[in-house]
Amino acid sequence: MLGLYYFNWAGTLGELKEYIGKMKSICDGIKGVELKGVYTPTSEWNYVFLLEMTSYDKGLEVLKTYMKKHGHPKYTVGKVEIFHTLEELGMTP
């Protein structure tokens, strides 16, 4: 399962680097979650985290852990998308 966590950053570049480091640390500490990278999409979003996770709950744990430890990050708006394989949904082509 893949998760995309889009956000529009409102802080400084230094604060963004710190935020990415904190997110990476949280992902590294949750079994079943791997941060594949941070990208700049060709859309209205500034940045997107690409996560590979074993379940929706694992992805949610990342966001909840960040908020509990650090409060709300300095972004103006965010969006989460989850991609399931057909096999994960019990549908085989």
Using one digit for the tens of pLDDT, what is the confidence trace for 25-75? Answer: 999 999 999 999 999 999 999 999 999 999 999 999 999 999 999 998 999
* Domain covering 2-83 in this structure, CATH number: 3.30.70.920
Q: What is the phi/psi pair of residue 67, to 5°?
A: -60, -40
Give the alpha-carbon dihedral of 64, 53, 3, 41, to 10 degrees.
110
**How many helices (H) and strands (E) would you count in the chain?**
2, 4
Q: What is the DSSP letter of 14?
A: H
Predicted confidence band at 87 (pLDDT cuts at 50, 70, 90)? confident
Positions of E strands within 2-89: 2-9, 33-39, 47-53, 75-83
For range 8-20, the mean pLDDT = 96
Beta partners for 37? 50
pTM for this predicted structure:
0.87
